[in-house]
Structure 1
């Protein structure tokens, strides 16, 4: 480069993408290792048993007053607690999947949403007293059944969606494809960092006695912006209408899931199932659409 001449954007972006890609690969390797998988499972088991013990101690009046007010008196609440922890694990898996495949990460979003519905069903059961009295339990049971049915419908949609997937390159150029993958890894790494900050802030607020933000609402809000960013990034490598429309459609589906999280139980379930049907239709049509000219196919 000539003296006094400013470096071009491309000369800066390349090294930054390479740095982000290497950092992402380290995080992914550590997260997907057998050691991490076993320790995560162990922690979930310990958390579940610990939650059950805490509930029992609360019921017997053996917890300090300041701690007891944060512990439910229903053993069913332990299910909601451990499922929330499981959702955190699935959130990390979702973000990491973003780099492998945009379509695959969308499937992970719906997997996460179905687990949120199951978590909400268990949380509804956590409001049941013990012993369960039908006259006072009907509302909670109806909510749990509604969330459970919605989770089942979304689960079925995810299975069909995975079967419809045909992973295809959006460009025939190997170097461009590698740069696109690196760009996705950079977006995923930034998203992971943002969610980590949001999670730590939530934990700090909770420990400080303030009301935490709904974390998974924040997750889907961040995913909306990540999806839109990927739509824009993909334009650097392809302007094929089908690719642009599919990725924009995925972003729209994420918006609907975000709305479903704040809606009342039945409308939220219907929004989630509707978003699932939309993505299924999108995947079915996209799988039958040529992306590259015949000489590149």
Structure 2
């Protein structure tokens, strides 16, 4: 269906234009030079945040900035983890057009990092010298999120090892249009992602309350996952494909609930989401092992 003639439908030309923009951004992001520069920026941002917080703690920053900047150095750790999460979210967006299951795997990577970040965030609530029982709940929160991150990471390893089956392409032209549509969807998600970042930056500079970046973005992800499920019905109208993709979309919903839940419950929901994805994939592969092969994914393949 790819082509460059004027007889190509306008819809395909628009999809191809958006896909070309996505491919260019993806190529830039995956370039080794870009990866090195991003890693360097993360280190410099962490060191810079430490320096700025220390200056504010010493009273060397005045005016409006002194009121919006923290004075606890552990906030620099939270800032560093947030930047790492931002990088992982961008990587997840670029994975989306390749495979629904891989995109969900990236979501669990992000969830594990969020739980780990939550553990470090609790450090600002501890006394310099541990006070018992005043600090007991904080310590339990640290352990809960840390153990939750470890369990999610373990389940992610199990999920990654499950078979994805063989290629099951039925309609090459339909598959091409499907992939183009997913690339345009990913491009829209990238725009939403950047818009949220700019909005939070403006809110921070104005001294306003920041929106929870990852909660809002995961809410958007729920709608994008449902869109992909419905779109896949057009190109892979089989019950098991729709069921599996719907189940994976449900994991995104559970992750979103985990992000907005209080301590302890967020860990339980995060582990539940990862466990659900593992069981869903295993059962789907098992149920159709004697039929068409492993349950096919939304990209025309089994994963």
Indicate whether the TM-score tops 0.5: yes
Does structure 2 retain, via aligned residues, the 8 Å contact 1:74–1:128? no
Does structure 2 retain, via aligned residues, the 8 Å contact 1:80–1:126? no
The correspondence for 1:273, drawn from 271, 274, 293, is 271
Aligned to 1:161: 159
In 2, Cα distance between equivalents of 1:200 and 1:22:
24
Aligned to 2:199: 201
119-128 vs 212-221, which moves further: 119-128
SS state of the match for residue 264, structure 2?
helix
The correspondence for 1:51, drawn from 34, 43, 49, is 49
Shift in Å, 1:170: 4.8
Is residue 240 of structure 1 aligned with residue 238 of structure 2?
yes
The number of aligned residues is 285
Aligned to 1:219: 217
16-25 vs 66-75, which moves further: 66-75
Distance 1:24 1:168, change over 3 A: farther
In 1, Cα distance between equivalents of 2:117 and 2:157:
20
In 2, Cα distance between equivalents of 1:57 and 1:141:
29
Shift in Å, 1:275: 1.0
28-37 vs 193-202, which moves further: 193-202
Instruction: String of CA shifts for 1:223-275, please: whole Å, max 9, x gaps.
Output: 10110000111111111111100111111111111111111111111011111
Aligned to 1:192: 190
Shift in Å, 1:83: 0.2
In 1, Cα distance between equivalents of 2:280 and 2:273:
10
Aligned to 2:60: 62
Q: Which has the higher contact order (CA 8 A, sep 6+)?
A: 2
In 1, Cα distance between equivalents of 2:165 and 2:189:
23
Shift in Å, 1:65: 4.6
Distance 1:201 1:263, change over 3 A: same
Aligned to 1:178: 176
Aligned to 1:142: 140
Shift in Å, 1:196: 1.4
Instruction: String of CA shifts for 1:161-196, please: whole Å, max 9, x gaps.
Output: 111141544533333222222221111111111221
Does structure 1 retain, via aligned residues, the 8 Å contact 2:68–2:207? no
What does 1:95-174 correspond to in 2, within 5 Å?
A: 95-129=93-127, 131-135=128-132, 136-166=134-164, 168-174=166-172
In 1, Cα distance between equivalents of 2:129 and 2:65:
25
Does structure 2 retain, via aligned residues, the 8 Å contact 1:150–1:272? yes
Does structure 2 retain, via aligned residues, the 8 Å contact 1:74–1:127? no
Distance 1:247 1:269, change over 3 A: same
In 2, Cα distance between equivalents of 1:35 and 1:139:
44
Q: With the length of structure 2 as denominator, give the TM-score of the two structures.
A: 0.88
In 2, Cα distance between equivalents of 1:272 and 1:176:
35
**Alignment RMSD, CA only?**
2.1
Distance 1:208 1:168, change over 3 A: farther
Shift in Å, 1:204: 1.3
Structure 2: unaligned runs, 5 residues or longer = 1-6, 294-300
Shift in Å, 1:12: 2.7
Aligned to 2:3: none
In 2, Cα distance between equivalents of 1:226 and 1:23:
19
Does structure 1 retain, via aligned residues, the 8 Å contact 2:15–2:181? yes
Q: With the length of structure 1 as denominator, give the TM-score of the two structures.
A: 0.89
Distance 1:258 1:170, change over 3 A: farther
Aligned to 1:5: none
